[in-house]
């Protein structure tokens, strides 16, 4: 699950992004995504002349040759498409990207240009969703032009995120999270912390860490297992540890352990 937010994208006036496609499914996905961010856009026919004031046009790969505009983006992965479009419309294309990740139960993700322009803020509710978002973003940019900074907190989640990104060919850094966390009542605290992490210096990861959950992290999995099961069971420590290491999902572990108890 991902929650997207608008990092002050609406500057007023004419829309800067246009959707030009006759692919209804793609059109619906783009409208829903841009709407969730509050990003102004205009809908065009691919055969229509693009009006003045449009900075970038989102379209399908098959319709790309038809669009008469200098800035065209083939819409593929949601996050990658948005970052690519934002990079063009903000005139920061080619600067390179910095992705900041704030690990925790809710994972904040922020994307910024190397000069500090915020391009995307989102909250992911799983390591898998985080890796999928980062993969989408990296896929639209040369890997050598992307740096990923991961906060030092929540060590097991941090290390699992690092391992999930190792095949992308990007440089990975661990950033000391001291002073990155905003006041707890701030409703986008994970995303703002991720943005601060993105813009800080860190130490480069040269070897992938060994996943070693702390006793507290194992207890947290056990606590969540009680919630997921409606209070019917608590996962044993060894099973909870496997969940914390990413060897099992919490839902699968609860389901399998429930079956064992009934047998």
> Is 150 contained in some domain?
yes
Residues 173 and 228 in one domain: no
Packing angle, helices 215-228 and 237-245, rounded to 10: 100
CA-based max dimension of the chain: 69
What local confidence, expressed as pLDDT, does residue 94 receive? 76
Measured in whole angstroms, how far is the alpha carbon of residue 50 from the centre of its chain?
31
Name the pLDDT band for 51 (thresholds 50, 70, 90).
confident
Domain identity same for 173 and 148: yes
- Pick the range with the lowest mean pLDDT from 43-47, 102-106, 178-182, 254-258: 178-182
**For the chain, what is the mean pLDDT?**
86
**3-state DSSP of 132-145:** HHHHHHHCCCCHHH
Residues 103 and 191 in one domain: yes
DSSP for the chain, written as a single string: -EEEE-SS---SSS-SEEEE-S-HHHHHHHHHHHHHHT--EEEE-TTSPPPTT--EEEE-TTTGGG---S-EEE--SHHHHHHHHHHHHTT-TTS-EEEEEE-SSSEEEEEEETT--EEEEEEESSHHHHHHHHHHHHTTS-GGGEEEEEESSSHHHHHHHHHHHGGG--EEEEE--TTT---TT-TTHHHHHHHHHHTS--EEP-SPPPP---HHHHHHHHHHHHHHTTTS----HHHHHHHHHTSS-HHHHHHHHHHHHH-
Domain span holding position 65 = 7-89
**CATH assignment at residue 178:** 3.30.420.140
Given a cut of 70, whether residue 197 has pLDDT beyond it is yes
34: pLDDT strictly greater than 90: no
* Separation of first and last alpha carbons in the chain: 33
Out of 135-144, 201-210, 253-262, give the one with best mean pLDDT.
201-210
- 104 and 78 in one domain? no
Chain CA centroid to CA 30, Å: 17
Sheet holding 41-44, edge to edge: 41-44, 17-20, 56-59, 72-74
For the stretch 64-96, pLDDT in tens is 999 989 899 998 888 888 888 888 888 887 778
Q: Is 53 part of a structural domain of the chain?
A: yes
Task: Give the full edge-to-edge strand order of the sheet including 203-204.
Answer: 2-5, 118-124, 107-113, 97-102, 146-151, 171-175, 203-204
Checking if the pLDDT of 15 tops 90, the result is no
Shared-domain flag, residues 112 and 75:
no
CATH classification of the domain holding 80: 3.40.50
- Same domain for 197 and 138: yes
Residue 59 located in a structural domain: yes
156-185 per-position pLDDT tens digit: 999 999 999 999 989 999 998 765 555 444
- The domain tally of the chain equals 3
Does 178 share its domain with 120?
A: yes
Residue 58 shares a structural domain with residue 148: no
Q: Is residue 46 part of a domain?
A: yes
Q: Are 110 and 157 in contact (CB under 8 A)?
A: no
Q: Is residue 112 located within the same domain as residue 187?
A: yes
Residue 45 has pLDDT above 50, yes or no: yes
């Amino acid at each position: 699950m991902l929650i997207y937010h608008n990092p002050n994208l609406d500057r007023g006036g004419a829309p800067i992004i246009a959707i030009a496609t006759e692919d209804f499914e793609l059109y619906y996905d783009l409208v829903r995504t841009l709407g969730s961010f509050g990003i102004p856009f205009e809908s065009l026919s691919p055969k229509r002349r693009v009006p003045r004031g449009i900075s970038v046009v989102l379209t399908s790969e098959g319709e790309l040759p038809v669009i008469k505009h200098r800035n065209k983006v083939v819409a593929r992965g949601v996050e990658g498409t948005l970052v690519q479009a934002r990079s063009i419309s903000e005139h920061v294309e080619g600067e390179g990207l910095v992705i900041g990740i704030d690990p925790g139960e809710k994972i904040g993700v922020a994307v910024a240009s190397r000069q500090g322009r915020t391009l995307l803020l989102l909250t992911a509710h799983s390591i898998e969703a985080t890796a999928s978002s980062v993969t989408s973003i990296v896929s639209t940019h040369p890997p050598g032009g992307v740096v990923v900074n991961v906060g030092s907190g929540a060590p097991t989640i941090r290390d699992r995120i690092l391992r999930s990104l190792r095949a992308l060919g990007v440089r990975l850094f661990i950033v000391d999270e001291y002073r990155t966390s905003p006041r707890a009542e701030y409703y986008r605290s994970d995303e703002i912390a991720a943005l601060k992490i993105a813009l800080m210096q860190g130490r480069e990861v040269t070897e992938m860490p060994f996943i070693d959950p702390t006793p507290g992290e194992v207890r947290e999995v056990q606590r969540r297992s009680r919630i997921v099961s409606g209070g019917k069971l608590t996962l044993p420590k060894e099973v909870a540890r496997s969940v914390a290491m990413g060897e099992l999902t919490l839902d699968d572990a609860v389901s399998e352990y429930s079956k064992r108890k009934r047998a």
